[in-house]
Structure 1
């Protein structure tokens, strides 16, 4: 791959996107964008009430995040974005025409996710939406540039390994699509 990576840390709510994303951005020395901060108030109100978002609800939000990604791609900058990116069509929208976007998929079982979400105090996403998140999840396919990590690993371990794998992908042009740890 050419140029520095643009990484979208993805997965269901409570999987650790923000922690891993912040850590990875710090390790790479680049900007981190917390996707949840760009939801319109109507989306936040809906989720806070335990109502899952529809594709139409997510459309404008994804367009905003895709704009940040396209700008980083045009400018040749690294970027890390935390975004659920649950469906293939969402990832396609986020990726746009960039060849530098890699999805870092954080995968975990429903019980572990529920316990993590139950322990959170400063987030609008209630545990009632776990089932809808898992129902919408379409893991990255083998044709997508993606790294998959089990959330039983620490955020630091994921960041350290992802940093090495991204360096290998972008320095040698080798592919890591579909690889799992």
Structure 2
């Protein structure tokens, strides 16, 4: 990839600072504003996100809402797919990708009072479609998993050039 990302910089803030997506848009003051950071020198193309919930993200006291879990995993995996395509195709900017499908496995109640770590990595590419797997963990314990397929969109799609 021609463009280099400064260490610790989130893909969203670097490539899409005006994006208003609820899950990952830096410009959405009421959104979750996750930051997906590529792992330096990762053979797998791993991307990491660290995010701390607030009390209003809870389903009930002490437990994170499943919809919030789905949103952060979806956005994080989507950016992982876009980053992978950019690296694979030697692009200066990741292509705009959208979710084609995703499945979240809520394996156990996810605590809402600690920092979450999301790790995602591409597992397959079929043209413009990237399959991504991810895990959400706290202190090394996996609470949730996600597998999804994300597609780079073409001109005419509403998400094309959104960043």
TM-score exceeds 0.5 = no
Superposition TM-score, scaled by structure 1 size: 0.25
Superposition TM-score, scaled by structure 2 size: 0.27
Pick 1 or 2: higher relative contact order, CA cutoff 8 A, min separation 6. 1
Structure number with higher helix proportion: 1
